Structure 1
Amino acid sequence: MNTSELIEQIAETTDRPKAEVKLVLDAVIDAIVAAAKKGEDVSLTGFGKFSVRDLAARTGRNPATGESIEIAASRKLAFTAGKGVKDALVLPKQPAKKASTEKKPSTTKSATKRRA
């Protein structure tokens, strides 16, 4: 799902015009980014938490040449799903397969040679 599809779905669900939904969605994204710039977490109860993580400088490898390169320290925005999202993504348990009690004829090469 892309942004326009999300806007369309929210507009249908809330019976609001797409332009209004786009403004609200843009405002939500802007608020999350502004909080991240300040290093603040954004928690949406039942959905999840956006947090800033600091990545230390490290040594990497150029895959083309194998040469060592220094990768600068950076920050990234991470998302941790909340309980409501995790519970929604759980797959239903499949019933266990019953073990067959019948003996199947052997199809290995050695069994085939013995029969011939």
Structure 2
Amino acid sequence: MSKAFLAQVIQETLETTGVAANRAATDVIDAIVKELKKEGGFTLPSFGTFTVKKTKARKALNPRTGEPVKVKAGKTVRFKASPSLKKAV
């Protein structure tokens, strides 16, 4: 799924222009990102839950050279599908 796909669905459903649909898709994505930053999670009923998880600093290997590399601690987004989504798929 891409932003273009979301914009197309919005455009067809609301019978609006492509520019307005693209703006709406952008606003939805921005709202989700803002909520993830603010609350650390976001739930779409009947779809699933997005949560922000902290990752620890660790050592990894550069696949090209095989040299050890330090990876900084950070954050990542995890997704857990809802039971209704799992059943539908």
> Shared topology, TM-score over 0.5?
yes
The DSSP-based 3-state class of the residue aligned with 1:54 is: strand
> What 5-or-longer segments of structure 1 have no aligned partner?
90-116
Residue of structure 1 equivalent to 2:83: 83
Aligned partner of 1:4 in structure 2 is: 4
1:55-66 aligned at under 5 Å gives the runs: 55-66=55-66
- Matched to 1:52, the amino acid is V
Shift of 1:39: 4.6
Higher radius of gyration, 1 or 2: 1
1:67 aligns with 2:62: no
Large movers: runs of 4+ above 6 Å = none
C-alpha RMSD of matched pairs (Å): 1.8
Normalised by the size of structure 2, how large is the TM-score?
0.81
Query: TM-score when scaled to structure 1?
Result: 0.65
Question: What is the identity, as a one-letter code, of the residue corresponding to 2:52?
Answer: V
Where 1:38 maps in the other structure, the secondary structure is: helix
When you count helix as a share of all residues, which structure comes out higher?
A: 2
Distance in 2 between the 1:85 and 1:59 partners? Answer: 36
Report deviation, 1:3: 2.3
Counterpart CA distance in 2 for 1:72 and 1:50 is 22
Look up the match of 2:35: 35
Determine the C-alpha separation between the residues in 2 that align with 1:6 and 1:22: 8
In the alignment, the residues of structure 2 paired with residue 23 and residue 65 of structure 1 have an alpha-carbon distance, to the nearest angstrom, of: 44
Greater RCO, CA 8 A, separation 6+: 2
The alignment-based identity, stated in percent, is 34
Any stretches of 5+ residues in structure 2 without a counterpart? none
The aligned counterpart of 2:20 is: 20
Deviation at 1:66, TM superposition (A): 1.8
Deviation per CA, 1:19-42: give whole Å up to 9, x if none: 332222211111111122235211
**The structure with more strand, counted as a fraction of residues:** 2
